[in-house]
Each structure stands twice: as C-alpha cells, then as structure tokens.
Amino acid sequence: MSRNAELFERASRSIPGGVNSPVRAFRSVGGTPRFVARAKGPHFWDAEDKRYIDYIGSWGPAILGHAHPEVVKAVQEAAVHGLSYGAPTEAEIEIAELLIERIPSIEQVRLTSSGTEATMSAIRLARGATGRNKIIKFEGCYHGHADSLLVKAGSGLLTFGNPTSAGVPPEFVAHTIVIDFNDAQGVQEAFAAHGKDIACVIVEPMAGNMNLVKPVPGFLETLRSECTAHGAVLIFDEVMTGFRVGPQGVQGITGVTPDLTTLAKVIGGGMPIGAFGGRTDIMQNIAPMGAVYQAGTLSGNPVAVAAGITTLRLLGEPGFYDRLGVQTRKLTEGLMQCARAHGVPFSADSEGGMFGMYFREQVPKGLNDVSAGNIEHFKTFFHGMLDQGVYFAPSAYEAGFVSCMHDDAIIEATLKAADHVFKTLN
Ligand code: HOZ
C-alpha cells in the first residue's frame, strides 16, 4: 500500500472521510488523496516525496507561491511576540488601512478568521441595517457554510450530488431566494415581487465555486441598479477573487461598486483570515457601534495579519497582476491548443491568476453549463495529470490558481504533460 493510501486509511479512522474539507477526499474523481508533506514556490511534495506542480495553491491564497521567504519571515517575527492577544494591535489598523486604500468601495472593514465568517457577518449586517429578512443568492455561487446559504450551494456539495445540506432546518433558508447566475431578468422579477423585503443580494461577482464562471455584460450592473432602486445592500463575495483576479478584485475590473465586500484567502497570505467591509453608514451598525453582533477571539490574529500585510505589500509591486495574467493565459491557451490538436472538446477561461477548464466546447455561463461538461474526460484528465506530477483541483466544479512562481518552465512542463494526457482522451 502506498504511503498516501496508508495515511488516508489512518485519517479515515479519526477524521470523517479522512479530510477536514470534503473536496479534498477525491470522492468525485476517485483514487487516493495526496497528503502534502511540504511545499515551496509552485510545487508541493506528497507523503511519498513525489513532487507536483500545484494549481490549487491552497484554493487561492498562495498567489506568491508556497512559503514565500518574506511572508515566512513576517510570520516568524510576529510569532515571537505572541500568537494571539484577544486585544487590539497596531498591525490590525495597518491591514485595515491597506484594504481601504486598495479597494475604493471599502470605507471601513472588520477582520474575521475565515471567509465563511465574513459572508455570514456581512449578511447579518445587511439584514440588521435594512431591517429586512430576505436575501438573494445565485445557483452555483458558494459563500461558505452558514446555514441560510446552504441552498443548492456549489463546490463540495455538488460534488456529492447533494444540493442542500442535512441539518439545515427549512425555516433557516425560507428567506433565501436562489436565482440562476447571470439571470438578470430573474433578479428583476424577484425585486418586483419582494423588493421591500429584500435585505441584500450576495454574489460571487466572478463565480469560482462552480469552476470559474464570469458574469455576462449587464448582469452585475442589474444587481447594482436593482439594489439601489429598492434600498437593498449589494454584497460582492470576493473571498476567492479579491486580490486574485486583479488589484481591486472583480469590482476593479467591471467598475460595478458593491455596498459591502467580503474577503479572505489572499489577504491572509496562507494564514486563516477573513474580512468584510464597505460603506461606513452600513458598517456603523456593527457592535459596539450598532445593534448587529459580530465578534471573534482570533479576529485580527497578529500572525495572520503579519502574513497578510506582507502579502499585500508584495502584490502592490508594479506589473504584478499583468505578469500573473500573462502566465495564466499561457496555461489556458496552451491547454486549449493541446485539446484541439487531439480533438478533445475543451474550453478554458481566466482572469488574473484564476482559471477554469471545461470539458465542453463553450465556456459556461452558469451551473447547468458546467454540469453539461464531460465528467469522464475530466476524471481521466485529472488522474493522468496527477500521474505526470501536475495537481489540479479534484473536482470539475472548482477553479484553478496560478502563482507568480509559475514561470515559463513550469507552464511548459504542464503543457507537455497535458499533451500526453489529452492524447489518451481521444
Ligand atoms: N470547496 C473549497 C474550495 N472552493 C475547498 C476548500 C478546501 O478543501 O480547502
């Protein structure tokens, strides 16, 4: 038995499914999860010391590559001074100021420990600020695992073919309206029917939890105009896209301004962190200023904040996102070329350092399109690439991530492996 298999068997005795987050279990692709022993730059090594080119990068945070020396140094230096205080620090102000400076729609921001906490809190805040109950979310968008959001949610749940989670009472999701992503008309109809009861619209402005799905022109603009017209709060969940697709997230690319934004992943540089922020008049409703409660012992954790500040500083270097976007496009265009050469129906898309691969001719516009991809081709491709030492997400419903350490040699090695694997799909 391989060392990875041994570890998986052992893990399965003490941890449900052997993993601490469902997609990692490889259920939708079959086979044995790789247990990571260490990582550096664009690579990680598994329990058998096999090296992989990593296109997950911790699902986004590793934008500078794994174990970037400056981020590691910042973490080490912060750790020496104590791991957690449960009291304010100057560094928290620094990261808040950095976020406000980088993302113009954020006037005030509060830190949490995860993206789930950030979205859950942003929704509570929207409800508290408006005095309304209903929320709109979109099919295939995933906003963490808070109860009211586990309605036909994407990612792990889809992978299990189970559109909602057990353990969520129907009453908890009774106020959640689910509309197809990119269905602007559906949004207009929902507002026409329930406008005065809708507290907020929450959206991944570029979806990353049903694979990468971009908004069609006019979709985000409709969300903005409907929210404005009906006094609802527009929340952009940029947990995945924030500082990943560009220096100001999707809002910087599309020019559509949300009222609140949620962030996580990249802003912690690999350490657990989340944040929600936006208009001051809305943010002032949070305790201790207002009546909306939100708190956390590890919120603003000094070690996570140190990693985040250093990461954000390095991302601010001129040309960073241009270079990242070029490398990511080299990958997606190269993959499409390989697939075409071998007659495999395939498409790909990217924005900044985030990409999608689809085993169908057209890039998807929503969840149904993603589900229409050839899942058998995906599985064969995934395992073929894994054998060749290239690690893509073990689910057709996840996006991929490129770091600034994925240089030409890494992309070429990936495409060489892909050429070999696409050949076997024909
Ligand atoms: N579904 C998560 C990403 N979209 C997976 C997170 C993890 O397993 O770490």
Atom 3, ligand 1: which residue's CA is nearest? 59
pLDDT range class, residue 159, cuts 50, 70, 90: very low
Contact (CB, 8 A) for 308 and 299 = no
> Do 34 and 61 have their domain in common?
yes
Q: Is the CB of 209 under 6 A from ligand 1?
A: yes
Mutate to test the pocket of ligand 1, among 19, 34, 155 (most ligand atoms within 8 A of CB): 155
Task: State mean pLDDT over 9-33.
Answer: 96
> Do 188 and 251 have their domain in common?
yes
Position with higher pLDDT, 165 vs 315: 315
- Residues 282-309 have pLDDT tens digits of 999 999 999 999 999 999 999 999 999 9
Extract the tokens encoding 38.
Answer: 């260490």
Lowest mean pLDDT among 151-155, 173-177, 345-349, 393-397: 151-155
Q: How many domains does the chain have?
A: 2
Give Cβ neighbours of residue 416 (< 8 Å, ≥ 6 apart): none
> Do 373 and 297 have their domain in common?
no
Q: What is the per-residue pLDDT for 167?
A: 87
Extract the tokens encoding 133.
Answer: 């109950």
> Do 19 and 109 have their domain in common?
no
> Do 63 and 75 have their domain in common?
no
Q: Is the CB of 204 under 6 A from ligand 1?
A: no
Lowest mean pLDDT among 163-172, 249-258, 378-387: 163-172
> Do 248 and 274 have their domain in common?
yes
Atom of ligand 1 nearest to the CA of 59: 3
In terms of Cβ atoms closer than 10 Å to its own Cβ (0-12, 13-18, 19+), residue 131 is: exposed
Q: Is the CB of 21 under 6 A from ligand 1?
A: yes
pLDDT above 70 for 72: yes
- Distance of alpha carbon 115 from alpha carbon 262, whole angstroms: 7
Atom of ligand 1 nearest to the CA of 142: 4
Give Cβ neighbours of residue 352 (< 8 Å, ≥ 6 apart): 244, 245, 246, 321, 324, 325, 328
Q: Is the CB of 162 under 6 A from ligand 1?
A: no
- Distance of alpha carbon 140 from alpha carbon 152, whole angstroms: 7
Mutate to test the pocket of ligand 1, among 23, 159, 241 (most ligand atoms within 8 A of CB): 23
Task: State mean pLDDT over 253-259.
Answer: 98
Q: Which residue has the tokens 């981020």?
A: 71
- DSSP annotation string for 49-68: --EEEESSTTTTT-TT-BT-
Task: State mean pLDDT over 262-283.
Answer: 98
Q: Is the CB of 59 under 6 A from ligand 1?
A: yes
Contact (CB, 8 A) for 262 and 294 = no
- Distance of alpha carbon 319 from alpha carbon 325, whole angstroms: 10
Task: State mean pLDDT over 55-82.
Answer: 98
Q: Is the CB of 23 under 6 A from ligand 1?
A: yes
237 labelled catalytic: yes
Residue 265 region, left (φ>0) first, then alpha (ψ -120 to 50), else beta? Answer: left
Position with higher pLDDT, 155 vs 403: 403
265 labelled catalytic: yes
> Do 59 and 91 have their domain in common?
no
Return phi, psi of residue 413, to 5°.
Answer: -60, -40
- Distance of alpha carbon 284 from alpha carbon 205, whole angstroms: 25
Task: State mean pLDDT over 106-112.
Answer: 98
| CATH number where 38 lies | 3.90.1150.10
In terms of Cβ atoms closer than 10 Å to its own Cβ (0-12, 13-18, 19+), residue 270 is: buried
358 labelled catalytic: no
pLDDT range class, residue 152, cuts 50, 70, 90: low
Q: What is the per-residue pLDDT for 87?
A: 97
Task: State mean pLDDT over 78-93.
Answer: 98
> Do 133 and 271 have their domain in common?
yes
> Do 230 and 141 have their domain in common?
yes
Q: What is the per-residue pLDDT for 352?
A: 98
- Which of 284, 315, 346 terminates a domain? The answer is 315
Between the CA of 340 and the centroid of ligand 1 the distance, in Å, is 30
| CATH number where 159 lies | 3.40.640.10
pLDDT above 80 for 315: yes
Which amino acid is located at 67 in the chain? A
Pick the catalytic residue: 183, 237, 349, 369?
Answer: 237
> Do 50 and 136 have their domain in common?
no
Q: What is the per-residue pLDDT for 174?
A: 82
Q: Is the peptide bond before 288 cis (omega within 30 degrees of 0)?
A: yes
pLDDT range class, residue 346, cuts 50, 70, 90: very high
- Residues 211-231 have pLDDT tens digits of 999 999 999 999 999 999 999
Atom of ligand 1 nearest to the CA of 208: 4
Extract the tokens encoding 173.
Answer: 């999701």
> Do 102 and 132 have their domain in common?
yes
Between the CA of 265 and the centroid of ligand 1 the distance, in Å, is 11
Q: What is the per-residue pLDDT for 168?
A: 85
Q: SS3 string of 139-208?
A: ECCCCCCCHHHCCCCCCHHHHCCCCCCCCCCHHHHCCEEEEECCCHHHHHHHHHHHHHHEEEEEECCCEC
> Do 99 and 54 have their domain in common?
no
Lowest mean pLDDT among 103-107, 168-172, 313-317, 335-339: 168-172
pLDDT range class, residue 164, cuts 50, 70, 90: low
Pick the catalytic residue: 134, 137, 265, 330?
Answer: 265
Task: State mean pLDDT over 26-47.
Answer: 97
- Which of 315, 338, 359 terminates a domain? The answer is 315
- Distance of alpha carbon 43 from alpha carbon 66, whole angstroms: 7
Task: State mean pLDDT over 240-245.
Answer: 98
Residue 258 region, left (φ>0) first, then alpha (ψ -120 to 50), else beta? Answer: beta
Between the CA of 21 and the centroid of ligand 1 the distance, in Å, is 6
Sheet architecture: strand order including 198-203:
108-112, 274-278, 260-263, 233-237, 198-203, 134-139, 176-180
Mean pLDDT estimate for the chain: 95
pLDDT above 80 for 388: yes
Atom of ligand 1 nearest to the CA of 155: 1
- Distance of alpha carbon 411 from alpha carbon 375, whole angstroms: 24
In terms of Cα–Cα distance, which of 214, 196, 192 is closest to 205? 214
Q: What is the per-residue pLDDT for 157?
A: 40
Question: What is the domain range of residue 361?
Answer: 3-67+318-425
Task: State mean pLDDT over 116-144.
Answer: 96
- Which of 315, 342, 369 terminates a domain? The answer is 315
Between the CA of 20 and the centroid of ligand 1 the distance, in Å, is 10
Q: pTM higher than 0.75 for the full model?
A: yes
- Distance of alpha carbon 211 from alpha carbon 225, whole angstroms: 27
Q: Which residue has the tokens 């694997």?
A: 421
